[in-house]
Chains A and B, each alone.
Chain A
Amino acid sequence: MTTPTTILVVDDSRVSRLMARQYILGKHADWIVEEAGTGEDAIERVKTLTPDLVLMDVNMPGMGGIAAAEQLRRLLPTLRISLLTANVQSATRERAAELGIGFMEKPITEARIAELVAVLEVAG
């Protein structure tokens, strides 16, 4: 039996988590969408979850998304991570590239989520 694809959505905004969940499950109702409200929570969750993808907001209370992504990268070097942010500044994109992680602009839309989902579909 294959393990269902699991995506961890990390965002302090409940409405953003809700939209990401809605669009992911709209594409693949059998996938698992887990949620975390902070970077700290996300780091705890990956210890037991082993997600296929982490969607990480940048501007969050506490450690923030970039610091959390850095820690996740150290803990799980092969984990697929994508920043999910309203911050359109080049500096943020460059930081994502340095960390070897993806970058998706907010707002969350069906088309943007579909692009991310397609990458996981190809990866199998």
Chain B
Amino acid sequence: MFNLSELENDALVEIFNIGVGQAAASMSAIVHEEVTMSVPSISFMHRAAAAVLLGRGDHEHARICGVSQHYEGAFETEAILMFPEDKSLEIVRLMVGEAVPLQELTEMEQEAMCEIGNIILNSCVGTLANIFQHELQGSLPVYHVGTSDEILTASGSHSDTVVLMLHIDFILEKHQIHGYVAFILDISALHDLKDQINRYIARAMGQA
């Protein structure tokens, strides 16, 4: 399994911390309430193990909705934002307010979730790109519904693909909604990421 040194791991957590702070601010502006986010924990695991971890909620095979975006540039990755499926309409309602009738809200649910995914994932990935001083080009967001395993598979990964599990809890206190973000990287992308982290560390130490 792919590993980072202690210093590399520390740097990556710090970079994601900054990105997550930006994402929390964006999420809070979307839902008009305070959003608390956990300090990101990072682990590398095979996709199958990641699916088990993500599915370890209240229900073993709970359906979740996911929004994925493919990024390439400094490194290549599939970033996925996931929320419990039964909360997505509630999130969209928080976004647009009470003025929109329920039927119209239901019609625009997928589109609105894509837009939320676009904002949150770009907050995170954009911060990474700025820190790495290397642009990351993103695709249009794609909406998925299914179990965590189905969503990770739909995002193009095989069971032995390594997933960088950036485990962040997005907690909307008043609404008890938890969300997660995952990044899928293949071996070559993991090496590119490691290379970017080391350049960042070298710059931070005044060696570049």
Contacts and interface: CB of A to CB of B under 8 A. Distances in A.
Contacts of B154: none
Instruction: Name which of B95, B111, B118, B123 has the most chain A CB atoms within 10 A of its CB.
Output: B118
A61 B140 contact: yes
Lowest 9 CB-CB distances: which A-B pairs, in order? A88-B126, A86-B122, A15-B112, A86-B119, A13-B115, A91-B135, A89-B126, A89-B129, A107-B29
Dominant SS at the B interface?
helix
A90 B129 CA distance: 8
A115 to B, nearest CB: 14
Given A88-B122, A106-B119, A59 B100 contact: no
A107 B30 contact: yes
Given A86-B26, A90-B130, A107-B26, A15 B95 contact: yes
B197 interface: no
Interface stretch (A16-24, A27-35, A48-56, A116-124): A16-24
Contact of B108 (A15, A89, A90, A91): A15
Contacts of B130: 88-90
Contacts of A90: 129-130
Contacts of B123: 86, 88
Contacts of A15: 92, 95-96, 108, 111-112, 115
A14 interface: yes
A87 interface: yes
Chain A interface size, as a band, is: 20 to 34
Contacts of B108: 14-15, 18
Contacts of A18: 96, 100, 108
A14 B129 CA distance: 28
A106 B22 CA distance: 11
B127 interface: yes
Given A15-B96, A15-B111, A15-B115, A88 B22 contact: yes
Contacts of A85: 122
Contacts of B138: 59, 87
A22 B98 CA distance: 12
A71 interface: no
A107 B129 contact: no
Given A22-B99, A59-B118, A89 B112 contact: no
Contacts of B151: none
